[in-house]
Amino acid sequence: MLGADYTFRVGDGLHVLVEYFLSVRENKSTLLDPEGNRLFHQIGFLLDQPVGLDIRWQVFSLFDFRDGSFQVVPQVEYFLFRQTYLYLTGRWGGRVETGKKNGRLFRKTPVFNGTESNIGLTLVVYF
């Protein structure tokens, strides 16, 4: 894994993080992707920035070089009071190439598999 981050002087600070991940599993390894591959070759990007004192937006994305699949995860965090936060989140996945729909980061299946596109609202209270 190799990564770098920097905060630009844009607004209240635009934070950018880039990470590259390369892993080759041994032949005896049980950690395989859905197609049985042992090579993991991915890159991730994170952008986040506060907007005033109460709001922070963030976009995280992953891209798999082997199969062209990706996930994009936007989020808005809103501070309500004390240790109470409201999060509006989403997830959108797909493949860069057309035709084949399944990849390591996105799979179209008739049952829930955890990579589907979605949107959500979460209330978090820390105590």
- Tell me the per-residue pLDDT of 5-55, one tens digit each, with 9 for 90 and over: 999 999 999 999 999 998 777 666 665 555 666 677 899 999 999 998 899
DSSP state of 65: T
34 class by beta-carbon count within 10 Å (0-12 exposed, 13-18 middle, 19+ buried): exposed
Chain segment 54-72, per-residue pLDDT in tens: 999 999 999 988 878 888 9
CA distances from 23 to 65, 72, 103, 105, 123 (A): 12, 22, 17, 16, 36
Q: What's the rounded Cα separation, in Å, for the pair 37 and 115?
A: 18
The pair of structure tokens assigned to 85 is 């936060």
**DSSP H or E stretch at residue 64:** strand 55-64
> pLDDT-based confidence at 119, cuts 50/70/90?
very high
